[in-house]
Amino acid sequence: MNSEPDWVAQAQRFQQDLAGHWTQALQSFQLAAPGAGVNLPQLSFSPDKLGALQQAYVKEATELWNQALQGKPVTQDRRFAGDAWSQNPVSAFSAAVYLLNARTLLGLAEAADTDAKTKARLRFAVEQWMAASAPSNFLALNAEAQKKAVETKGESIAKGVQNLLADIQQGHVSMTDESAFEVGRNVATTEGAVVFENELFQLIEYKPLTKQVHEKPFLVVPPCINKFYILDLQPDNSLLRYLVEQGHRTFVVSWRNPDASLEDKTWDDYIGDAAIKAIETVQEITGQKKINALGFCVGGTILGTALAVLAARGEKPVASATFLTTLLDFTDTGVLDIFIDENMVKFREMQMGKGGMLKGQDLASTFSFLRPNDLVWNYVVGNYLKGETPPPFDLLYWNSDSTNLPGPFYAWYLRNTYLENNLVKPGKVKVCGEKVDLSNVDIPVYIYGSREDHIVPIGGAYASVKHLPGKKRFVMGASGHIAGVINPPSKNKRSYWTNDKLAKDIDEWTKGAKEHPGSWWTDWSAWLKPHAGKMIPAPKSVGKGTKFKAIEPAPGRYVKVKA
């Protein structure tokens, strides 16, 4: 059995036609927004790069064929690492060929002579295509799913169909056993009460856990594209509970999940009637002129904008601010940049700039497909092909609990941050009638970024130091957007880096940074303490008088509304 010449000839023909087929495919693939009516970029490929790709492809294809003849194609990819794959020659060979083609297509995208943004879009398109077409996603080729079907006498297939129908009904792929969790029962359980609400948010105050509290209260502004309880999943990993345990009188904004009644709300509304209103309400409840505040992700962008508006009015009610994985400067937005251009933003402005709603599931799907193998196809295979129920996991339950966004808010945000980066251009935009100038936000700030963050790249998080004039501390944590932030000291996991000398960019800062084992929370707590004021007796109850009496127990009803 020796048909190697036929295989090599097929490989050569495949490689020779690949560039032409790829270019034709791109001409039918709209890289810009639908309906934008723009010309796609013209692609060309360097003959030298194509020649090198062809040689590499033929060489690897020959090696693969020889391995197949010996009955042992080799792959290290965890999607195909199970014994069932290695024991099934057809499945093993299909996986190896797939990985070879995937590498070649990615190499072809890299070989394209085009601008950086188009190349990033090509790379993203290839990654999505290859993730979706993996042999593991199809029962006819997935050796593990086939083996399980035989062992269970078809029950796994029947269960997979049930899972598929259930997910179709709920509108998203299940990442965890959602029946295992209930907000207020076993997630978001830190004790407190809603002490204020309007149409945009509820303000929750938490019950003190210490006999004395710091004089200056603490306000947390979470992202409005997610629910606040990522900061209060379980008692042992709750950042909100940690604040309370450290003696801070703690408040958090719980955003309302918008419905049709809020479809005309704007960025100005979220700044004036939410962030600034929350600051003023905390001041009034506690009787303190100065508070400390934290913004997480988009919540940090909202907080930073609100502080700039207040500064333009001559008001500085916040003594210190903490920004967690926050973009104020949108020069470096990472992979999300591939979605943003003038035509895409114009399309969204026409679609919902004057009213409408961005559905939470649309936004959740976008973020999931940034990591398609981990957050999409992994669950397609497990849920539907193998008939498995994913195990309970509080973080993934939260991740599936999506929120809507008002169209005008979203359209303004896209244009003025991701597209035009206007927040760092002094006086470029007006919010709540005031010109935004971050150089007026002259207060101490603690800025945290996660090293492997794919939503707020570490360089983007670091860029805030250029625009905030007060005394600054920047800290880098290990892991990603969520896992890096939710890293309590009690777990003694991961590490963080500090460097008291700020540099021109994150690369230079990192060169001089010192690594510390464990959680960055302890570093932040030590930084925050001198900004929090003296210790005073803890209040005996939450709220204040009849105006700010407890409306309902935490976590309140707003956070329980489904998109």
Residues assigned a catalytic role: 297
Return the bridge partners of 219, or none: 251, 293
Looking at residue 405, what DSSP letter applies? Answer: E
Contact 301, 423 (CB under 8 A): yes
* Cα end-to-end distance, the chain, whole Å: 59
Closest CA to 282 of 19, 543, 10: 543
Distance CA 532, CA 246 (A): 11
Within 195-266, where are the H helices?
Answer: 239-245
Residue 424, both tokens: 């760092």
Instruction: Please state whether beta strands 514-517 and 552-553 pair in parallel, antiparallel, or not at all (unpaired).
Output: unpaired
Distance CA 267, CA 272 (A): 9
Contact 276, 268 (CB under 8 A): no
Three-state secondary structure call for residue 194: strand
Distance CA 421, CA 330 (A): 5
Three-state secondary structure call for residue 380: helix
Within 259-297, where are the H helices?
Answer: 267-270, 277-286
Distance CA 398, CA 411 (A): 25
- Furthest-apart CA atoms within the chain: distance in Å: 89
